[in-house]
Amino acid sequence: MRIEGAVLRQSDAPAPYRVSRPLELTAVELAEPGAGELLVRIEAAGVCHSDLSVLDGNRPRPLPMLLGHEAAGVVEAAGAGVRDVQTGDHVVLVYVPSCGSCRFCVSGKPALCATAMTSNAAGDLVGGGSRLWAGAEEVRHHLGVSAFATHAVVDRSSVVVIDREVPFTTAALFGCAMLTGYGAVNHTAGVRPGESAVVFGLGGVGLAAVMSAAAAGAWPVVAVDPVQEKRKLALEIGASHACAPDELGLVQPDIAPDRFDWAFEAVGSSAVFEAAYAATGRGGGTVSVGLPHPAAVLHLPALSIVAENRRVLGSYMGTAQPAVDIPAMITLWRAGRLPVDRMLSAELSLAEINEAMDELAAGRAVRQVVRPHRRGDAHS
């Protein structure tokens, strides 16, 4: 079938992207779903730093590629062998599929699936190869999803079925921002009630970590970001305190005199990670959630890791199990404990995707959501 999607052909286009327009809105041929696959009509797709990092070259990927990985939609067709998902089901898409049989999958760590790592790096589906073409040119999939399009073919393991009353613009955020931030707090760190937490970087993932830490019973929960509006939002969704990066040294002694139990770095900067590490105390843990440039390195006081029993942890996809965690998060959202809707910055049409990347790169947006079936200027 013929669909419309935002295809990236080169990753070195200069900003502003509204001028250089590296994401080309174009007609693409999409194959029918094969065995174990689904055709999904994309209803909402979040604009995430993982998309921007491909566009600006920080995360090199094979090109051309149809971007977008955080999304929700409706199943329109199922391939052979899919029996537990039906046409008409509402689904959240997950950016790490899982083979179910590698040692990571069978030990409850699907975010580290060996098969998915290989297929995502190649821009393939886990069933092998691409389902996208632009003329005679094969187009790669972004993280098994490629959601900046009207439709996507994905592996069955890339979807979680959800209740139909969840709005698509909210549901989409559970697939990346919430899954990553919630998982970092609850799985990677295992934050317990009464422990203190500080979150560096208040994009979608950072704000998800803030509200998740508050829901887990942490106190204080300090939100750190240079943008005042983001700090204000953090206070409204669960942070006990918020400050600019250069103000943390003034705030911390009064509210966390022994420094913090947990620090979450959601920027993708080695310098910010080092500041997050410095903010934790004896026995504390520092969790890296952001994606730094591949060449970035860390400089940490090595003795403190042993002598102070400090922990340095990576958290990819929040160390989550999507089939379990997405329904759990939706339950907490319904109870008012995860105010996910507050992260929505704007709703856009596909035609505005380059402008959305400018807003993201400038740090002004929290979570913009593309509605692929809307036309024209769809700002809200």
Q: How many residues does the chain have?
A: 380
Question: How many angstroms separate the Cα of 238 from the Cα of each of 80, 226, 231, 261, 266?
Answer: 45, 18, 11, 17, 17
209 forms bridges with which residues in the sheet? none
Q: What pLDDT score was predicted for residue 380?
A: 40
DSSP per-residue codes, 345-378: EEEE-GGGHHHHHHHHHTT--SEEEE-TT--S--
372 preceded by a cis bond (ω within 30 of 0):
no
CB 229 within 8 A of CB 284: no
Q: What pLDDT score was predicted for residue 378?
A: 42
> d(Cα 7, Cα 348) in Å, to the nearest integer?
17
Give per-residue pLDDT as tens, 143-198.
999 999 999 999 999 999 999 999 999 999 999 999 999 999 999 999 999 999 99
Q: What pLDDT score was predicted for residue 376?
A: 57
Going 376 to 148 to 320 to 302, the CA torsion angle's sign is negative
Q: What pLDDT score was predicted for residue 374?
A: 85
Q: What angle do CA 36, 140, 152 make, to 5 degrees?
A: 50
Q: What pLDDT score was predicted for residue 210?
A: 98
Residues 6+ apart with CB under 8 A from 246: none
Hey, what are 347's tokens? Answer: 């709703």
Q: What pLDDT score was predicted for residue 12?
A: 84
> d(Cα 112, Cα 287) in Å, to the nearest integer?
17
Residues 6+ apart with CB under 8 A from 189: 262, 264, 285, 287, 313, 315
In the chain, what is the greatest distance between 2 CA atoms, to the nearest angstrom? 63
Domains in the chain with CATH codes: 2-175+341-370 (3.90.180.10), 178-319 (3.40.50.720)
Strands 23-30, 2-8: pairing is antiparallel
How would you classify residue 135: left for phi > 0, otherwise alpha for psi between -120 and 50, otherwise beta?
Answer: left
The three-state (H, E, C) secondary structure of 64-118, written as one string: CEECCCEEEEEEEEECCCCCCCCCCCEEEECCCCCCCCCHHHHCCCHHHCHHHHH
Which residue from 255, 308, 241 is spatially nearest to 281, judged by alpha carbons? 308
Which residue from 55, 62, 43, 69 is spatially nearest to 18, judged by alpha carbons? 55
Q: What pLDDT score was predicted for residue 375?
A: 73
> d(Cα 65, Cα 171) in Å, to the nearest integer?
24
CB 300 within 8 A of CB 275: no
pLDDT < 50 positions in the chain? 378-380
CB 70 within 8 A of CB 115: no
